[in-house]
Amino acid sequence: MQAQTLPFPTEQIVSRIFQSGELSRSDRHQLQAVLSNEAIDENELSLIEKVMDGVLKGILDVLY
């Protein structure tokens, strides 16, 4: 069984988030999809943790 390929690579999502300084609802849904994938790798997990850290430190604005 092959791992499902997501339509939006995690690196592109995270890059877009930090370029805009905003975490949109769509971004959150895409990151949740990555987290629900059983084949998530350490790099993807690290990138998502970077986003969470950015939110906690006030670097990123969360849009509702």
- Dist CA 47 CA 31 (whole Å): 10
Residue position matching structure tokens 């592109």:
12
Number of residues in the chain: 64
Q: In terms of Cα–Cα distance, which of 45, 40, 51 is closest to 15?
A: 51
Task: Tell me if 4 is assigned to some domain.
Answer: no
Task: Tell me if 28 is assigned to some domain.
Answer: yes
Q: What is the pLDDT along the chain (64 residues), one digit of tens a residue?
A: 445 555 569 999 999 999 999 999 999 999 999 999 888 899 999 999 999 999 999 999 999 9
Task: Tell me if 1 is assigned to some domain.
Answer: no
pTM of the model: 0.83
Task: Tell me if 5 is assigned to some domain.
Answer: no
Task: Tell me if 27 is assigned to some domain.
Answer: yes
Task: Tell me if 37 is assigned to some domain.
Answer: yes
